[in-house]
């Protein structure tokens, strides 16, 4: 896989962990929506990119 693919995977993982932390330990709903949206977008990009490579 190209290096950019691994960067997207890292973004997805960080957003997942960050969303969990924000949901359970803060009251910042807008930040939760932002990190979840970025995570979902990066995951969709990963799926699309993977299907294009194979």
Read off the pTM.
Answer: 0.89
Closest CA to 38 of 15, 10, 21: 15
Q: What is the pLDDT along the chain (54 residues), one digit of tens a residue?
A: 899 999 999 999 999 999 999 999 999 999 999 999 999 999 999 999 999 876
Angle of the 3-25 helix axis to the 29-53 helix axis, nearest 10? 150
Q: Where are the domains of the chain?
A: 8-53
Looking up tokens 């330990």, which residue turns up?
25
């Amino acid at each position: 896989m190209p290096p950019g693919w691994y960067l997207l995977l890292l973004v997805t993982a960080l957003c997942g962990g960050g969303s969990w932390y924000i949901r359970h330990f803060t009251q910042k709903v807008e930040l939760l929506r932002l990190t979840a949206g970025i995570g979902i977008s990066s995951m969709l990009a990963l799926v699309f990119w993977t299907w294009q490579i194979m």
